[in-house]
Structure 1
Amino acid sequence: MKLANTKIHQGISLRQRLHRFAQVAIWVVSGAATAALAQGSGTQQYLETQQAGVNARIEVLGKAFTSPYPIGADQSRIMLYRTEPSRLSGATSVFVDGRYHTSLVPGAWSALCYRSGTSELGARQMQVGSRPKDLADSITAVQLQGGQTHYLRVQEEQGRPVLQPVPAAQAHQEMVQFKEQVHTVSRVAQACREGVAPAAVAQPGNAAHRITLPADTLFAFNRSDAAGMTGPGLAAMDNLLAMLKADFSRVEGMHVVGHADPLGNAQDNERLALQRARTVANYLQTRSSSMAITTEGRGDRDPVISTCSRQITARSIACNQPNRRVVVEVMGTRR
């Protein structure tokens, strides 16, 4: 019994320490935003404190964004940024596989080098004086490709921050006047190893093309695994691949987003939406191994229809059919 209590106390203490660390980061960047307005653009931005010595001035935003150098084939680079204006108040803290990386204010960017493979990027909106959060507001699963730079933008979705993958050309245009967030130290970034040749960059003007697939067509009821995919669902996936081959001269990547209806437990809906997105992404990846595909689950937070009854009945299940869906966002150049 004592051992169990010790574990509980340690868990609470860890959450409190993480929250205090995040709150300090947010206090700094909130002040930095005010300082930036006072000093204007084109200058090094910082926060004046009441302390003496080296802590009298804390630099918050550093160098302006420039196109990154190529990364080694055994690593991936994650480039995160936050545009402005935004309805999100406070700073957006970003966690990579559960570990803190940075806290972004509007007009700031941050980069890290990391291992290739599947990683989960969590976004958590926090403000000074707010109640501590135990869970991320959203989690985006990303398949990091060796030797490639992946761009993700903080996007507001129904009051929550979501890390949205964007094409390189679009990110470069949006980040042209942004400055690096430098006030905190990443707990996850690796030392970058430079590559020998730059990666290809998509031509400007590319936009995401969205294809919505009904989850009731893709999966049997309440299923999210590959074995639960239906015959019509597999046919729909093959038709999607054929359409991409016919309509796009180049596909830079895809982002698969799973959605659930609001019936039942919210956490179960989150897991169901994310797992369905991952299953669809895995199917696409096995048939197009060179394509970069990321996944995200939004649970029931982004409904198409919000007037259905919350009671689980045959009528409410049928009414919520449009909410159960998987959206495939294709980034590339159309023919």
Structure 2
Amino acid sequence: MFKHTTLFHAALLSAVLYNMPAAMAQDASPKALGSAYTPVAAVSADQAQVVYYRLPVANAQAGAANVYVDREFQSALLPGGYTAFCVTPGQHSLGAYLNDAPNYNGKNTDVYSAQLSGGMTYFLRVGEGANTAPQAVARAQAESELGATRQQIHALSRASHVAACNYQAASAAPARASTFKDYSLSSDVLFAFGKSGYADISPSGRKAIRELVTQLRTSHPNLEQIEVIGHTDPIGKPAANHALGLKRAHTVRRLLVDGGLSAADIKVSSAAADDLVTQGCKGSRAEQVACHAPNRRVVVRVDLLP
């Protein structure tokens, strides 16, 4: 979704606003963090919404992660903090940077660009390592992690392209929306690009599926029906994408059965590239592969009993 762009010089803003002292990384007072996250509503077609968050992990680096939008300061995320904002659809630079002072590289170097579509909501997670590229996360996974965060309220936004969100009134959900729950697994966590076999699945993918089995047993003690749906990006021919999605779904099903779930209760299907969460990816093949990462996923859909 994100690509490195040509950089240009931008004036540095005040270090008081942009460089949070290390001690503030442990500050969970109401002055720094506000209300707990609640699921954001859809926005109008003339806006794109971004939810940027930082996990409250034990190994979080000290200090705040400065968030920049189009090279202008938007917020400073402490561990366990999130910010939600809207911009006009189109190309924007986004990033959250740790240890940003004194050069404020988030404004001047390593800027990452994204094409944001109107009416869409994008979930981005701060990376605690050296890689400052925003981590795009599927909504289901993001909101399970956002449950442990609170709104960041201690820093004043100076991002001129950020606007108040025009939220849409909630519409009646389809009848089936209340009958199932989706658990989305990033295909790039499960498999290398283009891979789908049982032997191809990564150690992190096997761990993610074991954790999902535990969660399913805890959250759904009367579990009776599961559908594993393989999704792909639009790169390649439709028939090949459909086959790839189905192979990945079969592999995940096998691992769910290995984890102790009943094989008779699990069916598989492929959505191929019919339900994209990221669109408009351009550039070289490598850039398109990176941009389409959120589309490559496997969804485990659980039927909920009445």
TM category (shorter chain) comes to: 0.5 to 0.7
The answer for the alignment partner of 2:43 in structure 1 is: 71
Instruction: Identify unmatched segments of 5+ residues in structure 2.
Output: 1-7, 195-234, 250-269, 302-306
Which of 184, 187, 193 does residue 212 from structure 1 map onto? Answer: 193
Closer, same or farther: CA 176–143 of 1 in aligned 2, 3 Å = same
Which of 11, 18, 29 does residue 25 from structure 1 map onto? Answer: 18
The answer for the alignment partner of 1:116 in structure 2 is: 89
Q: Secondary structure at the match of 2:51?
A: strand
Instruction: Identify unmatched segments of 5+ residues in structure 1.
Output: 1-10, 37-44, 47-58, 214-235, 259-273, 282-293, 297-326
Q: Distance in 1 between matches of 2:150 and 2:168?
A: 24
> In 2, are the aligned partners of 1:83 and 1:107 still within 8 Å (CA)?
yes
Q: How does 1:1-335 map onto structure 2 within 5 Å?
A: 15=11, 17-18=12-13, 20-21=14-15, 23-27=16-20, 30-36=22-28, 45-46=29-30, 59-85=31-57, 86-126=59-99, 130=102, 132-133=104-105, 135-137=108-110, 139=112, 141-157=113-129, 159-186=130-157, 187=159, 188-197=161-170, 203-210=181-188, 211-212=192-193, 237-238=236-237, 241-243=241-243, 246=246, 248-249=270-271, 251-253=275-277, 275-278=284-287, 280=288, 295=291, 330-333=296-299
Q: Give the TM-score taking structure 1 as reference length.
A: 0.53
**Number of residues of Structure 1 aligned to a counterpart in Structure 2:** 219
Q: Distance in 2 between matches of 1:80 and 1:94?
A: 8
Q: Percent identity?
A: 24
| CA positional deviation for 1:251 | 3.8
> In 2, are the aligned partners of 1:122 and 1:138 still within 8 Å (CA)?
yes
Q: Secondary structure at the match of 1:33?
A: helix
Kindly name which structure, 1 or 2, has the bigger radius of gyration based on alpha carbons.
Answer: 1
| CA positional deviation for 1:76 | 1.4
Closer, same or farther: CA 72–131 of 1 in aligned 2, 3 Å = closer
Q: Which has the higher strand share?
A: 1
Q: Secondary structure at the match of 2:164?
A: coil
> In 2, are the aligned partners of 1:208 and 1:330 still within 8 Å (CA)?
yes
CA RMSD, aligned part only? 3.9
Q: Secondary structure at the match of 2:32?
A: strand
Q: What CA deviation, in whole Å up to 9, does each residue of 1:218-276 have, x standing for no partner?
A: xxxxxxxxxxxxxxxxxx73276344565633645359999xxxxxxxxxxxxxxx754
| CA positional deviation for 1:165 | 1.1
Q: Secondary structure at the match of 1:193?
A: coil
Q: Give the TM-score taking structure 2 as reference length.
A: 0.58
| CA positional deviation for 1:71 | 1.2
| CA positional deviation for 1:334 | 6.5
